[in-house]
């Protein structure tokens, strides 16, 4: 890449550079022993990490715990963070790996109706908690949107892990292929083919919804 | 299905995401034009992607930050690698255990709030008039300003190079003698239009990395400069105009030198000419200082009256020798125009003249409208290699190196007003 194009890509990526500087400043403070500065990074990324994990593991309790664990693990491994990929990408890599490991240990995909909880666990929440609450005077189109969202999430949950994660990172977290490649530690070509296949499966599952 | 068509199909998703090279994207685009079935499939993939993007976003549970900070703050608590653990943290919070939020979390919240204010509200307080700009890396040789404390108000004063008494050039005249508090170095970083946010963040990162935290936006807006800590804790960033941001920070001498070095590094990496500028108090207009040839432009040290009179080498004060200002080179001056339209934004209007400077040596174009939003170019840049946007923005960094704790100080130098 020539300097001109490199500079141009840096300018196009101005938003990310802006974010990176903010993260770098907080990380510097963490490294200087100001642990509380890590709270700034948690505050900044917790919603995105939680949302991604939730879409990936589909269980809210697990997602909360895994999200917390991801940040703790990121903090523990700060001395090893090399900044080559950006904190955001590195953090997501930790979160995704934790979630994949968790699922391999026995986390299962559960299907819920909007009105029923599962397992009888008092702390479980119905799938409806994942959707905006329009119970009071909601219009018909909002009800339809909730049903549609449930169907989409169900279809997403039925994907194999390796396909679901690329869909979550690309279409929900808006990462580019390069970032996904770093998060998953796979080549960009693999990201491309998995995403295509995942979208084809979803396209078939949601054909009537899309039409 | 032909192999080509199959590979095109497999690239539809990447084409949708803009992840194909330009030649390949053109091939896919052509295939979509030629093959209706492919186009239908492409639209279906797009519908899937868009639908996924509209899924509601879940937020992390309240208290996540506190719980994480508690865990990382307690050895043993942080090292949980046995998979899922009981929600000890949640129970603790539910039981009403107070956990310190952490300066980082509070600071980020504050910065976000300030950022929101910054984009929504323009600062009303005028910028302090900058007397001079120091481009020199040798601070000892730099012609420095003095930070004046006069009856609780702030102003700027000039320390003449000839050793004469300092002369105050304040924007708020107050009766009585003023006393010097600390030396000041002003650093102006010109950035092109597109790079302003990144450059602003770079400057803030320099402060942030040296332990300075931003003053609240409201304090900065109300020009509560006295709240800037002399212990090097806070700095002030005032976006007085959408295209100009001023930083001010007080620090010790060692930090002073380090930060100036870092800021000069940022300055050197900008893609527009770093021509210093001076302000004329008499006319209220800003004039671009014409820099002599050289990779770095030395400080323009001019008195406002001297500039208005047509010449001064930057010294001020009674009895100082005034050299004529360098003539404006014809090839470096574009049209001087009187804008004929109004700008009602923020109640300001365009007025006065602006000069269009072309620095062919640096292959950059810049121009500046006095006290107003910079105007778009009315003359095409003469340099084909210019990368700067049509408007230039400025970061003005005013560094107060604290020699002694600021005032109101006892003793010091008696100031004379230049008016």
B113 contacts chain A (CB < 8 A): no
The B residues from 11 to 70 touching A (CB cutoff 8 Å) are: 11-14, 17, 19, 41, 44-45, 47-49, 51-61, 64-65, 67-69
Indicate the residue of B10, B61, B84 with minimum beta-carbon distance to A62: B84
Under 8 Å CB-to-CB from B234, ≥6 apart: which residues? B212, B213, B214, B215, B227, B228, B249
CB contact under 8 A, B69 and A199: no
Is B202's CB within 8 Å of A21's CB?
yes
Question: Residue A118: what pLDDT?
Answer: 31
pLDDT for position A210: 74
Asked whether residue A173 carries a pLDDT value surpassing 50, the answer given is yes
pLDDT band at B3 (very low <50, low <70, confident <90, very high): low
Q: What is the pLDDT of residue A190?
A: 93
Sign of CA dihedral A53, A54, A60, A64: positive
Residue B377 has pLDDT above 90, yes or no: no
Chain A residue numbers touching B53 (CB-CB < 8 A) = 171-172, 174
Q: Rounded distance, CA B370 to CA B381, Å?
A: 20
Please, which residues 148-177 of chain A have a Cβ atom closer than 8 Å to chain B? 148-149, 152-153, 156, 167, 170-172, 174, 176-177
Q: Does residue B302 or residue B57 have the better pLDDT?
A: B57
Select from A199, A204, A208, A209 the residue whose CB has the most chain B CBs within 10 Å, as the one to mutate to test that interface.
A199
Among chain B residues, the shortest Cα distance to A39 is held by B105
CB-based contact A203:A167 (threshold 8 Å): no
DSSP codes, B143-197 = --EEEEEETTEEEEEE--TTS---EEE-SS--SS--EEEEEEEEEEEEEEGGGHH
Pairing of strands B213-214, B234-241: parallel
pLDDT at B147 exceeding the cut of 80: no
Q: Mutation target for B interface from A42, A108, A156: give the one with most B CBs within 10 A.
A: A42
Better-predicted residue by pLDDT, B268 or A106: B268
| pLDDT for the residue B243 | 62
Structural tokens at position B418: 């230049």
CA distance A126 to A114: 6
CB contact (8 A) between residue A39 and residue B69? yes
Predicted local confidence at residue A201, as pLDDT? 93
Residues of B in contact with A29 (CB under 8 A): 104, 208
Is the Cβ of A13 closer than 8 Å to some Cβ of chain B? no
Q: Is B138 exposed, middle or buried (0-12, 13-18, 19+ CB in 10 A)?
A: exposed
Nearest chain B residue (CA) to A192: B14
Q: Minimal Cα–Cα distance from A186 to chain B, Å?
A: 16
Q: Cβ neighbours of residue A169 under 8 Å, at least 6 residues apart?
A: A52, A92, A96, A175, A179, A180, A183, A184
Task: Count Cβ atoms below 10 Å from residue B25 Cβ, excluding itself.
Answer: 15
Return the pLDDT at A115.
Answer: 30
CA distances from B309 to B40, B283, B305, B313, B338 (A): 73, 11, 6, 12, 21
Subunit contact B45:A37, Cβ cutoff 8 A: no
Q: Would you say residue B157 has pLDDT above 70?
A: no
Q: What is the rounded average pLDDT of the residues B225-238?
A: 57
More confident residue, A194 or B162: A194
ipTM score: 0.74
What's the pTM value of the predicted model, to 2 decimals? 0.42
B408: cis peptide before it, omega within 30°? yes
**pLDDT grade, residue A21 (50/70/90)?**
low
- Per-residue pLDDT of B159-178, as tens digits, reads 444 555 545 443 332 233 33
Q: What is the pLDDT of residue A70?
A: 93
Please report which confidence band the pLDDT of residue A91 belongs to, taking 50, 70 and 90 as the band edges: very high
pLDDT exceeds 60 at position B124: no
Is residue B44's pLDDT more than 80?
Answer: yes
pLDDT digit string, tens, across residues A39-79? 888 988 899 999 999 998 878 888 998 999 999 999 988 88
Hey, are the CB atoms on A38 and B48 less than 8 Å from each other? no
CA distances from residue B373 to A105, B194, B211, B278 in whole angstroms, order as listed: 60, 15, 33, 17
Q: Verify whether the Cβ–Cβ distance B48 to A64 is below 8 Å.
A: no
Identify which has the larger pLDDT, B160 or A95: A95
The angle at the Cα of B109, spanning B107 to B114, to the nearest 5 degrees, equals 90
Which residue has better confidence, B318 or B109? B109
pLDDT in tens, B272-320: 655 443 332 222 223 222 222 223 333 333 333 333 333 322 222 333 3
Beta bridge partners of B102: none
pLDDT > 60? residue B155: no
Q: What is the pLDDT of residue B255?
A: 74
- Listing DSSP states for B273-293 in one string gives ----EEE-TTT--EEE--PPS
CA distance A96 to chain B (A): 14
Which pLDDT score is estimated for B245?
Answer: 75
The Cα–Cα gap between B312 and B307 comes to 6
CB contact residues (below 8 A), chain A span 73-92, against chain B? 75-76
3-class SS shares of chain A: helix, strand, coil, % to 5: 75, 0, 25
Percentage of chain B lying above the pLDDT 70 cut: 26
Interface with B, mutate which of A54, A57, A72 (most B CBs under 10 A): A72
Give the nearest chain A residue to B110 (CA atoms).
A40
Determine the pLDDT at residue B105. 46
Are residues B404 and B253 in contact, defined by beta-carbon separation less than 8 angstroms? no
Statement: residue B198 has pLDDT above 50 = yes
Please judge whether B105 and A131 are an interchain contact, meaning their C-beta atoms are less than 8 angstroms apart: no
Residue B309, Cβ density class (10 Å: 0-12 exposed, 13-18 middle, ≥19 buried): middle
Residue B275: partners with Cβ closer than 8 Å, 6 or more residues away: B190, B288, B289, B291, B297, B357, B359, B366
- How far is CA B112 from its chain centroid? 17
CB pair distance less than 8 Å for B49 and A199: yes
Q: Could you tell me what percent of chain B has a pLDDT over 90?
A: 7
Average pLDDT over residues A139-150: 68
Distance CA(B269)–CA(A158), nearest Å, equals 51
B275, B288 in Cβ contact below 8 A?
yes
**Tokens read off for B230:** 């002399």
- Given a cut of 70, is residue B404 above it in pLDDT? no
pLDDT in tens, B61-103: 888 888 888 888 754 444 443 343 443 344 443 433 333 334 4
CB atoms within 10 A of CB A70: 27
CB-nearest partner of B52 from A14, A102, A172:
A172
- Beta-carbon pairs below 8 A across chains A and B: 200
* Residue among B300, B299, B307, B301 nearest B281 (CA): B307
Q: What is the pLDDT of residue B417?
A: 34
Q: Flag if B103 and A196 touch (Cβ within 8 Å).
A: no
> Which residues 160-219 on chain B approach chain A with CB closer than 8 angstroms?
194-195, 197-198, 201-202, 204-205, 208-209
Q: Identify the three-state secondary structure at position B252.
A: coil
Mean pLDDT, chain B, integer: 51
Distance between start and end Cα atoms, chain B? 87
Q: Higher confidence at residue B115 or residue A24?
A: A24
Question: Comparing B205 with B225, which gets the higher pLDDT?
Answer: B205
């Amino acid at each position: 890449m020539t300097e001109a194009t490199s500079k141009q890509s840096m300018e196009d990526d101005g938003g990310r550079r802006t974010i990176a500087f903010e993260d770098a400043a907080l990380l510097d403070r963490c490294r200087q022993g100001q642990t509380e500065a890590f709270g700034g990074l948690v505050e900044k990324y917790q919603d995105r990490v939680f949302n991604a994990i939730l879409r990936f593991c589909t269980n809210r309790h697990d997602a909360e715990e895994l999200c917390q664990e991801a940040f703790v693990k990121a903090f523990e491994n700060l001395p090893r963070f090399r900044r080559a990929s950006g904190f955001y990408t590195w953090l997501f890599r930790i979160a995704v790996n934790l979630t994949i490991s968790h699922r391999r240990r026995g986390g299962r995909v559960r299907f819920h109706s909007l009105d029923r909880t599962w397992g009888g666990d008092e702390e479980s929440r119905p799938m409806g908690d994942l959707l905006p609450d329009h119970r009071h005077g909601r219009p018909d189109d909002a009800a339809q949107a909730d049903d549609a969202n449930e169907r989409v999430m169900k279809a997403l949950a039925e994907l194999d892990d390796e396909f679901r994660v690329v869909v979550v990172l690309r279409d929900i977290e808006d990462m580019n292929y390069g970032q996904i490649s770093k998060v998953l530690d796979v080549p960009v070509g693999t990201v491309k083919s998995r995403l295509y296949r995942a979208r084809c499966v979803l396209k078939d599952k949601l054909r009537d919804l899309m039409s | 299905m032909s192999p080509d068509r199959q590979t095109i199909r497999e690239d539809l998703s990447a084409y949708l995401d803009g992840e194909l090279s330009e030649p390949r994207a053109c091939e896919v685009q052509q295939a979509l034009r030629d093959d209706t079935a492919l186009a239908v499939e492409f639209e279906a993939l797009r519908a899937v992607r868009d639908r996924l993007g509209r899924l509601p976003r879940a937020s992390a549970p309240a208290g996540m930050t506190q719980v994480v900070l508690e865990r990382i703050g307690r050895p043993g608590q942080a090292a949980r690698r046995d998979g899922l653990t009981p929600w000890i943290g949640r129970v603790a919070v539910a039981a009403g255990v107070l956990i310190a939020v952490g300066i980082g979390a509070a600071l980020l919240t504050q910065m976000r709030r300030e950022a929101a204010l910054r984009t929504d509200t323009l600062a009303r307080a005028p910028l302090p008039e900058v007397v001079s700009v120091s481009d020199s890396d040798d601070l000892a040789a730099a012609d420095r300003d003095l930070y004046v404390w006069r009856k609780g108000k702030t102003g700027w004063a000039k320390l003449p190079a000839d050793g004469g008494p300092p002369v105050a050039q304040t924007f708020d005249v107050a009766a009585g003698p003023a006393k010097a508090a600390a030396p000041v170095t002003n650093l102006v970083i010109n950035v092109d239009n597109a790079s302003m946010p990144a450059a602003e963040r770079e400057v803030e990162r320099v402060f942030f990395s040296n332990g300075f935290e931003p003053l609240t936006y409201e304090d900065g807006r109300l020009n509560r400069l006295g709240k800037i800590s002399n212990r090097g804790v806070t700095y002030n960033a005032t976006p007085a105009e959408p295209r100009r941001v001023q930083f001010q920070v007080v620090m010790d001498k060692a930090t002073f030198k380090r930060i100036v070095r870092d800021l000069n590094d940022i300055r050197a990496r900008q893609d527009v000419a770093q021509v210093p500028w001076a302000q004329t108090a008499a006319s209220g207009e800003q004039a671009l200082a014409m820099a002599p040839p050289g990779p770095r432009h030395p400080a323009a040290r001019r008195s406002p009256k001297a500039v208005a009179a047509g010449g001064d080498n930057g010294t001020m004060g009674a009895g100082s020798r005034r050299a004529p200002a360098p003539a404006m080179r014809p090839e470096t001056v574009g049209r001087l125009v009187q804008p004929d339209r109004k700008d009602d934004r923020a109640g300001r209007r365009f007025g006065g003249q602006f000069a269009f400077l072309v620095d062919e040596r640096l292959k950059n174009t810049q121009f500046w409208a006095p006290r107003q939003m910079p105007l778009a170019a009315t003359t095409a840049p003469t340099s084909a290699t210019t990368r700067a946007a049509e408007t230039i923005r400025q970061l003005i960094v005013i560094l107060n190196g604290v020699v002694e704790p600021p005032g109101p100080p006892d003793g010091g130098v008696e100031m004379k007003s230049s008016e």
